Amino acid sequence: MAGSPYASALGRLKPDFAAFLPKETFATLLAAKDVSDLAKLLETTTYADDVARERATRTGGPLVEAAINRMLVRRNRRAFESTPFAGRLVVGAYLGRWDLQNVELILSSKAQNRPITETEVEIVSSRDIPAGLYAGVMTLDDLRGVVAQPTLEATVSALVRFGYGTTILPLLEAYQRTHDIFPIFHALDVRYFQDVLSAARFFQGDEWTVRQFVASEVDARNILLLLKGKARGIAIDEVQERWLAGGSLGVTELNDLYSSRTVPELVDRLAARSPSLPEGNAEFASAESLTGYEAALQRDRAVVELKRMRTYPLSIAVIFTYLLLAELERADLRRIAFGRLYHLPNERIEPLLVSPRL
């Protein structure tokens, strides 16, 4: 593959790979006394400019959140711009996840009657550029216009012109009866994964790595669904309704797995797919929280996917390696920020971090 168009992409992204936070930096960040102190520590890292730009208008948690999101958007843009023409369709479809996240955030806020100011700070954007701009259809002004709608119903109407109407409108009447927002989110997620997998066609023969990458995310989400269902006593029929297609874990395995009597028993049966999953048992036992399981799933998936994709550096895999590392770093920084916000001890936060253990 000496003539691969991704040789140029690898060359352009190589300096950016070096800019990801080293493992020891996470230990330094964990020493922060509170969120404000965390922001100061971030100013000694590659996030310095992002924190400085946000200080004029934000403090505390919103400052850290906005700075982290700015970096993510910049990295997404860098990855997209480094992608050769043949790969832009699938990379663009994948980056549409941030448009989707913003839409789901807005709908959730409307359903909960949260203030507009709380919603705007969580929109993933940078320098007035939404993260989905390179893949999606919504500008930041568009997102703000949607946020400003007075009700969820008005919000849905505003989303119609951006292509979400066919997915959401058929479910709106059911939401008005039940006030259950999840079926709408599920339909949006199903559409997203269908779009990405459809975009990962075999143009050059190396897109199979992307299909496996996406399938592993679907598997992780389905496993977490099983754990949530078992923890909350949800009927198996409802779990099946929420299942996502496209992974290697088939819905035919659902009945057998879900027959487990307890969450730890289910975890033992899933450990063959995610060896670190039992590490979340302590968090579940002490706080009935699934966050330990979620972090273990992310970590196991990252180990497998990074190993596979790094084997093919002169392919589209280099783009997705970069995007995955960017997402993991953002998730870890947000875990630290939330931990400081809610005064959690490091003993609970550190096991949830993924990047330092890769």
**pLDDT digit string (tens) for the chain, length 358 residues:** 456 889 999 999 999 999 999 999 999 999 999 999 999 999 999 999 999 999 988 999 989 998 998 899 899 999 999 999 889 999 999 998 988 888 898 899 888 887 766 666 667 654 455 555 444 557 778 888 888 888 889 999 999 988 888 899 999 999 999 999 999 999 999 999 999 999 987 666 678 899 999 999 999 999 999 999 999 999 999 999 999 999 999 888 998 999 999 999 999 999 999 999 999 999 999 989 999 999 999 999 999 999 999 999 889 999 999 999 999 999 999 999 999 999 999 999 999 999 999 9
Task: Report the alpha-carbon distance of residue 315 to residue 6 in Å, rounded.
Answer: 5
Quick one: pLDDT at residue 147? 84
Contacts of 127 (CB under 8 A, 6+ apart): 70, 73
Q: How many Cβ atoms are within 10 Å of 307's Cβ, its own excluded?
A: 10
- What is the pTM for the complete model shown? 0.91
Task: Report the alpha-carbon distance of residue 177 to residue 193 in Å, rounded.
Answer: 28
For the chain, how long is the longest CA-to-CA vector? 59
What are residue 129's DSSP bridge partners? 126
Amino acid in the structure at residue 293:
Y
**CATH code of the domain occupying 208-315:** 1.20.1690
Helix (H, G, I), strand (E, B) or coil at 125: strand
Structure token digits, residue 329: 């770093």
Task: Report the alpha-carbon distance of residue 103 to residue 147 in Å, rounded.
Answer: 9
Quick one: pLDDT at residue 59? 92
Chain position carrying tokens 């997402």: 327
Task: Report the alpha-carbon distance of residue 317 to residue 310 in Å, rounded.
Answer: 7
Contacts of 249 (CB under 8 A, 6+ apart): 219, 222, 223, 273
